[in-house]
Structure 1
Amino acid sequence: MKPVVSAFNAWTCIVISVFAIVILSAIGSMFANNNHTMMGSEEDPEDGGKVAAAVFGAVAVYGAFLLFCGSQAFLHQRQSQHGEIALR
């Protein structure tokens, strides 16, 4: 199987996805626990659980990106070990 994206794009996507998963998981857990820093103002949402569900949905999307880009990076790694010439 051949990779769809370049190795640079795959590794960039991996790094961005990991950071996004970590940061959004922290934000989602704060909304899920009705943390006062997220829910303390009058302009903040009423239901922290619904906001947390939306944020965790975004975490799932970034998880899918991470799996796809990880598989692309794996394919590039496997190709380079077999001595194939990479056109960049």
Structure 2
Amino acid sequence: MKPVVSAFNAWTCIVISVFAIVILSAIGSMFAHGHHTMMGSDEDPKDGGKVAAAVFGAVGVYGVFLLFCGLQALLHKRQSRQGEIALR
């Protein structure tokens, strides 16, 4: 099977996805637990559970990106071990 994206794009997507998952998970958990920094103002949303669900949905999307890009990176590693010439 051939990779769809370049190795650079795959590794960039992996790094961005990991950071997004970590940061959005922290934000989602603060909304889910009603942390005062997220829910303490008059302008903040009233239902933190719904906001947390939306944020965790974004975490799921980034998880799919991480899986796809990880597989692409593994395909590139496998191709480079087989001695194929890669044009960059």
How high is the TM-score relative to the length of structure 1?
0.99
Instruction: Give unmatched runs, 5+ long, in structure 2.
Output: none
Distance 2:72 2:61 in 1: 17
- The Cα shift of 1:87 comes to 1.5
- The Cα shift of 1:40 comes to 0.1
Alignment: residue pair count: 88
- The Cα shift of 1:43 comes to 0.1
Look up the equivalent residue of 2:70 and give its one-letter code.
G
- The Cα shift of 1:70 comes to 0.2
Give the % identical residues: 86
How high is the TM-score relative to the length of structure 2?
0.99
Residue of structure 2 equivalent to 1:74: 74
Residue of structure 2 equivalent to 1:86: 86
Instruction: Give unmatched runs, 5+ long, in structure 1.
Output: none
Distance 1:30 1:78 in 2: 40
The question of 1:21 aligning with 2:18 is answered: no
